[in-house]
């Protein structure tokens, strides 16, 4: 369906000499060191896809006039674009935070990367296809034409979620990390807690702590629920620390406080959409 021009290959090794790169009998553990880096690639790739989709949507809506003004100035379109921008920024921040953890030589950061890469790989890759679709819809009919970039971005979007361990496998990996290294939970909660001055984070942390302490029911059956919660809280914490208040408040309100399924374009009315869009397009005004 997608990934039509990736430089992938299949190699046959005949009479080749091999060297053990890890401990005998611990092959899977050894290859997982590499796999966590390729899973990290998937997060970054999907975050990059979101940024490109947002750029395409912004570029189009700034130029296209409908109902007497540019689309980017229509309030409902501003809601959709601002929401796409928030998702893109939160994905980028999560990717960069995991990059820093993978690059740092401390036990806490190693533990954070251990659980955070699985959470991020699951969440960002899962959010990408809907993000690409909404960006495509911002462009309208032209967005589905093969002559524009959107069809390729859209077809590519699900692939990062499937390969290098699909969504369920990432969630099961989070459970494995929690079981084998319970300190991963402590490190994750501490990371989220860096923004605990915000009431939505405090409430979310409390919920997550309770769920971790007394999971109840079948853990595997509800693993996605658990990982969803971890992902959004981690992103919200990062937004509160690294993004301006206009963006982080809108992110927290729409992702932590709102009820019901989150579809793009449902930011609450107090959202400073213009500020979010100016930041996304790096302009003083439209």
Ligand X SMILES: Cc1cc2nc3c(=O)[nH]c(=O)nc-3n(C[C@H](O)[C@H](O)[C@H](O)COP(=O)(O)OP(=O)(O)OC[C@H]3O[C@@H](n4cnc5c(N)ncnc54)[C@H](O)[C@@H]3O)c2cc1C
Binding site for ligand X (CB under 6 A): 3, 8, 159, 162-169, 172
Nearer to ligand X, 164 or 191 (CB): 164
Nearer to ligand X, 217 or 260 (CB): 217
Q: How far is the CB of 10 from ligand X (least distance, A)?
A: 8
Name the region of 67 (left: φ>0; alpha: ψ -120 to 50; beta: rest). Answer: left
Q: How far is the CB of 127 from ligand X (least distance, A)?
A: 17
Nearer to ligand X, 73 or 222 (CB): 222
Q: How far is the CB of 137 from ligand X (least distance, A)?
A: 26
List, as one string, the DSSP characters of 245-268. Answer: HHHHHHHHIIIII--S---TT---
Q: How many CB atoms lie within 10 A of CB 65?
A: 11
Nearer to ligand X, 3 or 73 (CB): 3
Do the beta carbons of residue 264 and residue 130 sit within 8 Å? yes
Q: How far is the CB of 155 from ligand X (least distance, A)?
A: 11
Closest listed residue to residue 132, CA positions, set 228, 2, 277: 2
Task: State whether residue 105 is helix, strand or coil.
Answer: coil
Nearer to ligand X, 148 or 169 (CB): 169
CA-angle at 184, arms to 179 and 190, nearest 5°: 140
Q: How far is the CB of 167 from ligand X (least distance, A)?
A: 6
């Amino acid at each position: 369906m997608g990934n039509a021009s990736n430089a992938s290959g299949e190699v046959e090794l005949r009479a080749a000499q091999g060297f053990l790169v890890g401990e005998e009998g611990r092959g899977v553990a050894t290859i997982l060191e590499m796999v966590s880096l390729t899973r990290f690639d998937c997060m970054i790739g999907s975050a990059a896809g979101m940024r490109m989709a947002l750029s395409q949507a912004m570029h189009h809506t700034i130029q296209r006039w409908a109902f007497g003004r540019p689309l980017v100035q229509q309030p409902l379109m501003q809601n959709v674009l601002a929401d796409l921008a928030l998702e893109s920024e939160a994905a980028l921040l999560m990717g960069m935070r995991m990059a820093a953890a993978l690059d740092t030589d401390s036990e806490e950061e190693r533990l954070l990367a251990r659980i955070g890469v699985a959470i991020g790989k699951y969440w960002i890759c899962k959010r990408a296809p809907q993000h690409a679709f909404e960006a495509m819809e911002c462009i309208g009919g032209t967005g589905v034409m093969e002559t524009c970039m959107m069809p390729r971005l859209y077809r590519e979007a699900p692939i990062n979620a499937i390969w290098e361990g699909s969504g369920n496998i990432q969630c099961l990996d989070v459970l494995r990390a929690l079981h084998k290294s319970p300190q991963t939970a402590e490190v994750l909660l501490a990371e989220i807690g860096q923004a605990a001055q915000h009431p939505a984070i405090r409430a979310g942390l409390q919920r997550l702590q309770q769920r971790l302490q007394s999971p109840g029911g079948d853990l595997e059956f509800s693993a996605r629920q658990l990982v969803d919660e971890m992902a959004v809280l981690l992103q919200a914490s990062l937004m509160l620390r690294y993004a301006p208040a206009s963006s982080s408040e809108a992110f927290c309100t729409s992702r932590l406080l709102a009820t019901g399924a989150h579809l793009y374009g449902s930011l609450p009315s107090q959202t400073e959409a213009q500020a979010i869009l100016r930041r996304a397009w790096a302009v003083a005004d439209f």
